[in-house]
């Protein structure tokens, strides 16, 4: 009787997946396997290299390569004969995506999606690329040529493949190593911040160059540094970014929400997919900027973006879907763009003339003979009557657009991205006076906290159609703990604090590295070649940066020295390479929160309207480096907290601003609290 493992049938197995991206490929003639121990075991049993293809549902070039190659019978037959073919949804398994994207970078290649990697049967990368065309073009070989060449090299040049594998694996391990260093002080943070400011486009906003991404972690750090450095430029570059994006084509002027990035330098032509994480972080920036200087544009874009979120992205009883696609009817951007004739047919002539002049509508269009609506040339408000007319026009066009074939939606729930949006909604609810947004944040929080909970106290990463499809990662626990603290500060509900503490304890048990910081994957992740560890931000904040922020915030909320020590250890695990600090803005913001942040304690009955007014003043303050705690009785705080023993004054609720282990005099009026929070300029 044979001991050989039973192999799965020679067919496409993605029909069993829950990921919308994997299901997009379930009818391909390719014998796709989902990532996991079974697929790796099959490759070892067959002694056949692995073709790993990574993408996501909203990815335009992923769709292109799928139509050109994965739906082609001849190409699929070649893939099936030469490789074990594995498909990965990068949003479902960001740890796998990050590992092999790092490997591609180590090979000297530019990253992107679809990510096409070739692995040994043990999952070790030895060659890769991104999109490959079906025929040779743009100086690239055809995908079929690549398949044959890689398979031939694997079969005939085993020694070279082994050398490549060993070098890449060693480099991946080095990338995951700690780089311990001291806690950065304000002077060093100032150097990094001003260097980042110098790298921005002072005319169009964002970082210089093309394409343009919002890069929210960078601008969130710069906004915080405005309050530490006394440098107006740190705030100015954030406001330029928000204003240019909000009037550009990257913003959906009819339906709300921001696209993932602009392909040009002026925010006109987007890559049309909308991501939950971008809109969460941009909403947070809009709220912070509006808190500092109220602006109708920020208020409108926040309201419209949350409107899109609640109208089009709410799933699973209150949580938020991951993405909306760039394509509809097989064409990028088709849902969003207009011709002049379409607009003339929908609007009365006088209104059409005003709308076309304001939103850049011309006979020739501004992109591929069609128009991406934008207000780049007319960013300033028109008269009240004219703006009312434009609002009617937008409503008419939105209704007409609603009848078009919509882009696809990836409706899986990701714990980390939901955590980012929950925290943003909690802040925006206070700043913009929208308690209903806080209700939406709480509903999403409840879905993730209950339906995505694992029995051992951890969170799952991805959830769809009643099924958890991926184990929780560091980012899930850190982002949801941060969201829990945002709700705790916004509501005073102790249950939210307990949730945050539980997820932090789970992260400590399963993700902590023995020499500092945290791994992305848990200690029981059996299908990860190298457990990644980084504090570098990408389009989303790093898990280690978020962990440090939560630890610093818990220190201010509880006064417990263990949280200060934890934050210092997390930050210190990555600060040894000073030249790399600019890539870690979330970690740097956490360092500033820890050492320079303020704890605001509201002493008195939380139900007292005077206490609520003080809390509102703190929550709506534009400096994000503060933490709010409500205390009903003087003895409720532990002895280690600087506000221990402090209480109401003369029977009236009082606020105490605590910094560096000491609290200021009590204040009883919101205006006085705002004055106390307006800290003096720090030395840079």
Question: Which tens digit of pLDDT belongs to each residue from 104-116?
Answer: 999 998 899 999 9
Judged by average pLDDT, the poorest of 205-209, 527-531, 630-634 is 630-634
354 & 474 share domain: no
Q: Is the pLDDT of residue 224 over 70?
A: yes
540 & 590 share domain: yes
Distance (Å, whole) CA 618 – CA 601: 10
481 & 541 share domain: yes
- Give the model confidence (pLDDT) of 300-357 as tens digits: 999 999 999 999 999 999 999 999 999 999 899 999 999 999 999 999 999 999 999 9
Q: Is the pLDDT of residue 414 over 60?
A: yes
70 & 93 share domain: yes
Comparing C-alpha atoms, which of 551, 553, 576 is closest to residue 565? 551
Distance (Å, whole) CA 387 – CA 193: 38
Domain count for the chain, please give it: 4
Q: Is the pLDDT of residue 2 over 50?
A: no
Ramachandran class of 271: left when φ > 0, alpha when ψ lies in -120 to 50, beta otherwise: beta
Distance (Å, whole) CA 341 – CA 363: 8
Comparing C-alpha atoms, which of 373, 416, 375 is closest to residue 275? 416
- pLDDT confidence of residue 180: 96
Q: Which domain holds residue 429?
A: 194-329+409-596
Q: What is the 3-state secondary structure (H, E, C) of 76-107?
A: HHHHHHHCEEEEEECCCCHHHHHHHHHHHHHC
CATH number at residue 82: 3.40.30.10
pLDDT range class, residue 4, cuts 50, 70, 90:
low
528 & 438 share domain: yes
| Domain annotation covers residue 582 | yes
DSSP3 helix / strand / coil % (the chain, rounded to 5): 50, 15, 35
Half-sphere exposure of 558 (CA within 13 A, CB side): 17
Average pLDDT across the chain, whole number: 95
| Domain annotation covers residue 363 | yes
370 & 230 share domain: no
Among the three residues 353, 371, 402, which one is the final residue of a domain in this structure? Answer: 402
| Domain annotation covers residue 180 | no
Cβ atoms < 10 Å from Cβ of 271: 20
570 & 603 share domain: no
555 & 643 share domain: no
Q: Is the pLDDT of residue 5 over 70?
A: no
- pLDDT confidence of residue 684: 28
| Domain annotation covers residue 8 | no
- Average pLDDT, stretch 394-408? 97
Structure pTM? Answer: 0.95
| Domain annotation covers residue 7 | no
- Give the model confidence (pLDDT) of 356-400 as tens digits: 999 999 999 999 999 999 999 999 999 999 999 999 999 999 999
Which tokens belong to 31? 């014998």
Rounded (5°) CA angle 604-609-615: 65
Residue 328, SS3 per DSSP = strand
pLDDT range class, residue 683, cuts 50, 70, 90:
very low
Q: What percent of the chain has pLDDT over 70?
A: 98
Peptide bond into 114 cis (omega under 30): yes
| Domain annotation covers residue 4 | no
356 & 458 share domain: no
Q: Is the pLDDT of residue 630 over 80?
A: yes
Residue 657 to residues 600, 633, 651, Cα–Cα distance (Å): 5, 17, 19
309 & 208 share domain: yes
Distance (Å, whole) CA 165 – CA 171: 10
Q: How far is CA 81 from its chain centroid?
A: 38
472 & 417 share domain: yes
Distance (Å, whole) CA 373 – CA 259: 13
Q: Is the pLDDT of residue 1 over 70?
A: no
- pLDDT confidence of residue 138: 75
- Give the model confidence (pLDDT) of 163-194 as tens digits: 999 999 999 999 999 999 999 999 999 999 99
| Domain annotation covers residue 6 | no
| Domain annotation covers residue 33 | yes
- Give the model confidence (pLDDT) of 483-502 as tens digits: 999 999 999 999 999 999 99
432 & 460 share domain: yes
Among the three residues 402, 436, 456, which one is the final residue of a domain in this structure? Answer: 402
Handedness of CA 589, 594, 598, 602 (dihedral sign): positive
- Give the model confidence (pLDDT) of 451-495 as tens digits: 999 999 999 999 999 999 999 999 999 999 999 999 999 999 999
**Beta bridge partner(s), residue 598:** 626
Among the three residues 562, 596, 630, which one is the final residue of a domain in this structure? Answer: 596
Q: Is the pLDDT of residue 130 over 90?
A: yes
Which tokens belong to 43? 């490759």
CATH number at residue 498: 1.50.10.10
Judged by average pLDDT, the poorest of 130-139, 439-448, 593-602, 606-615 is 130-139
């Amino acid at each position: 009787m044979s001991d050989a493992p039973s192999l799965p049938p020679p067919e496409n197995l993605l029909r069993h997946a829950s990921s919308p991206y994997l299901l997009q490929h379930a009818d391909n003639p390719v014998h796709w396997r989902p990532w996991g121990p079974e697929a790796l075991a099959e490759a070892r049993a067959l002694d056949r290299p692995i073709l790993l293809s990574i993408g996501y549902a909203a990815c335009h070039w992923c769709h292109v390569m799928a139509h050109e190659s994965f739906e082609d019978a001849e190409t699929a037959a070649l893939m099936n004969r030469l490789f074990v073919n594995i498909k990965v949804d990068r949003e479902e398994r960001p740890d796998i995506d990050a590992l092999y994207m790092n490997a591609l970078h180590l090979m000297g290649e530019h990253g992107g999606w679809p990510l096409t990697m070739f692995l040994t049967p043990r999952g070790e990368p030895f060659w890769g690329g991104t999109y490959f065309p079906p025929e040779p073009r743009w100086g690239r070989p055809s995908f079929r040529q690549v398949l044959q060449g890689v398979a031939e090299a694997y079969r005939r040049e085993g020694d070279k493949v082994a050398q490549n594998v060993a070098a890449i694996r060693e480099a991946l391990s080095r990338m995951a190593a700690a780089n311990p260093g001291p806690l950065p002080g304000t002077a060093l943070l100032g150097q990094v911040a001003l260097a980042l400011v110098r790298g921005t486009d002072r005319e169009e906003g964002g970082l210089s160059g093309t394409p343009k991404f919002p890069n929210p972690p960078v601008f969130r750090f710069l906004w915080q540094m405005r309050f530490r450095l006394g440098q107006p430029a740190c705030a100015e570059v954030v406001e330029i970014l928000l204003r240019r994006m909000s009037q550009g084509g990257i913003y959906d002027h009819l339906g709300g929400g921001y696209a993932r990035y602009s392909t040009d330098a002026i925010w006109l032509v987007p890559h049309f997919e909308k991501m939950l994480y971008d809109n969460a972080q941009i909403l947070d920036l809009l709220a912070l900027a509006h808190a500092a200087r109220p602006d109708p544009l920020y208020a409108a874009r926040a309201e419209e973006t949350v409107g899109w979120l609640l109208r089009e992205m709410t799933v699973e009883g209150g949580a938020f879907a991951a993405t909306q696609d760039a394509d509809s009817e097989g064409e990028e951007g088709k849902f969003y763009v207009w011709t002049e004739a379409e607009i003339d047919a929908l609007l009365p002539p006088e209104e059409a003339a005003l709308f076309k002049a304001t939103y850049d509508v011309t006979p020739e269009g501004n992109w591929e003979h069609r128009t991406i609506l934008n207000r780049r040339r007319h960013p300033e408000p028109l008269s009240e009557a004219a703006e009312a007319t434009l609002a009617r026009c937008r409503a008419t066009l939105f209704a007409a657009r609603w009848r078009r074939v919509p882009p696809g939606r990836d409706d899986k729930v990701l714990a980390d991205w939901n955590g980012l949006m929950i925290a943003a909604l909690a802040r925006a609810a206070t700043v913009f006076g929208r308690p209903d947004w806080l209700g939406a944040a709480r509903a999403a929080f409840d879905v993730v906290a209950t339906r995505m909970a694992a029995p051992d106290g951890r969170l799952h990463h991805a959830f769809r159609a009643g099924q958890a499809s991926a184990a929780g990662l560091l980012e899930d626990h850190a982002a949801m703990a941060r969201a829990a603290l945002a709700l705790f500060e916004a509501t005073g509900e102790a249950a939210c604090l307990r949730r945050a503490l539980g997820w932090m304890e789970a992260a400590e048990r399963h993700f902590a590295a023995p020499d500092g910081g945290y791994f992305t994957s848990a200690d029981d992740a059996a299908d990860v070649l190298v457990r990644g560890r980084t504090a570098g931000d990408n389009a989303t904040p790093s898990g280690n940066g978020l962990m440090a922020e939560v630890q610093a915030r818990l220190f201010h909320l509880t006064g417990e020295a263990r949280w200060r020590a934890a934050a210092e250890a997390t930050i210190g695990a990555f600060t040894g390479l000073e030249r790399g600090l600019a890539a870690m803005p979330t970690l740097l913001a956490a360092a500033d929160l820890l050492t320079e942040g303020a704890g605001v304690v509201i002493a008195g009955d939380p139900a007292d309207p005077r206490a609520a007014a003080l809390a509102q003043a703190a929550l709506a303050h534009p400096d994000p480096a503060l933490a709010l705690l409500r205390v009903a009785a003087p003895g409720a705080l532990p002895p280690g907290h600087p506000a221990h023993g402090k209480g109401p004054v003369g029977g009236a609720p009082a606020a105490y601003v605590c910094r560096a282990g000491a609290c200021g005099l009590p204040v009883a009026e919101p205006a006085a609290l705002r004055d106390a929070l307006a800290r003096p300029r720090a030395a840079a």
